[in-house]
């Protein structure tokens, strides 16, 4: 396994870690209705955990309403249950065929709480990136110890690794600033 391969695999892992942070951020509600709030929720569909977006059409008819129309109306109670168990803080209503979620405006206090949640999520993302860096560094050091790469290659690889980490941490920071601004906006 060459240095390039280690760096390539590490960058792939970091991209997935960043995508995970991005997905978590999209689930934070900002007082505006968005399909992202619910599409990632999982329900038990005939014994298989399935995302709501695979079982229903999700639409946003206005800024404070989300409608979920399942293709199989027998899953309406399961979707409602998943929404109630999530941390969305929204109570669903249905007419037997369509589930409606009314997204209320957020209070100033709730916005401040959400900012703290977003900061915590971004810190978890940075920790994840640093863990991936540590694992890759260990692989590079083991390759050097086992005479798979030269010492120069090891140090070059570690420098490249740090550049990759810095790039993804900067992306997380940029995402954090953007989401914080969005949450605090009325």
In tens, the pLDDT along 48-58 reads: 888 888 888 98
Mean pLDDT score of the chain, rounded to an integer? 86
134, two tokens: 């540590």
Fold of domain 3-26+107-184: Topoisomerase I; Chain A, domain 4 (1.10.132)
| Residue 29, pLDDT score | 64
Domains 3-26+107-184 and 36-102 share a fold: no
Task: Write down the residue that tokens 């979707």 correspond to.
Answer: 79
The strand ranges marked E within the chain are: 42-45, 48-51, 56-62, 65-70, 93-94, 99-102
Q: Model confidence at 34, in pLDDT bands (50, 70, 90)?
A: confident
For residues 18-38, average pLDDT: 79
Of the candidates 3, 9, 20, the residue with the CA atom closest to the CA atom of residue 126: 20
Q: Model confidence at 10, in pLDDT bands (50, 70, 90)?
A: very high
What's the pTM value of the predicted model, to 2 decimals? 0.65
> What percentage of the chain reaches a pLDDT higher than 70?
97
Q: Are the beta carbons of 129 and 172 closer than 8 angstroms? A: yes
Each domain of the chain, given as residue ranges in start order, spans 3-26+107-184, 36-102
Give the separation between CA 143 and CA 133, rounded to whole angstroms: 15
Q: Is the pLDDT of residue 99 over 80?
A: yes
Instruction: With H, G, I as helix, E, B as strand and everything else as coil, classify residue 159.
Output: helix
Which residues, other chains included, contact 16 with Cβ-Cβ below 8 Å and sequence gap of 6+?
none
Q: Are the beta carbons of 17 and 157 closer than 8 angstroms? A: no
Q: For 107-156, what is each residue's pLDDT tens digit?
A: 788 788 888 888 988 999 999 999 999 999 999 999 888 888 888 888 99
Give the separation between CA 35 and CA 13, rounded to whole angstroms: 27
Of the candidates 168, 170, 144, the residue with the CA atom closest to the CA atom of residue 20: 168
Supply the CATH classification number for the domain 36-102: 3.30.1360.40
Q: Is the pLDDT of residue 33 over 80?
A: no
Q: Are the beta carbons of 132 and 17 closer than 8 angstroms? A: yes
Give the separation between CA 90 and CA 117, rounded to whole angstroms: 17
Q: Model confidence at 165, in pLDDT bands (50, 70, 90)?
A: very high
Secondary structure element (H or E) that encloses residue 15, with its range: helix 3-26
């Amino acid at each position: 396994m060459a240095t390039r391969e280690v760096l390539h695999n590490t960058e792939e892992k970091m991209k997935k870690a960043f995508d995970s942070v991005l997905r978590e951020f999209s689930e934070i509600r900002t007082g505006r209705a968005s399909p992202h709030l619910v599409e990632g929720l999982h329900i038990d569909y005939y014994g298989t955990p399935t995302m709501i977006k695979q079982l229903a059409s999700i639409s946003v008819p206005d800024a404070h309403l989300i409608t979920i129309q399942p293709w199989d109306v027998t899953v309406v109670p399961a979707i409602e249950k998943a929404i109630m168990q999530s941390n969305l803080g929204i109570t669903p209503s249905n007419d037997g065929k369509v589930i409606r979620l009314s997204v209320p405006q957020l209070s100033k206090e709730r916005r401040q709480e959400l900012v703290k949640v977003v900061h915590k999520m971004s810190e978890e993302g940075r920790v994840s990136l640093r863990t991936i860096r540590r694992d890759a560094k260990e692989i590079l050091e083991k390759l050097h110890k086992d005479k798979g790469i030269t010492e120069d290659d090891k140090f070059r690889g570690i420098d490249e690794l740090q550049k990759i980490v810095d790039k993804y941490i900067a992306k997380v920071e940029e995402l954090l600033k953007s989401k914080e601004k969005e949450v605090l906006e009325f």
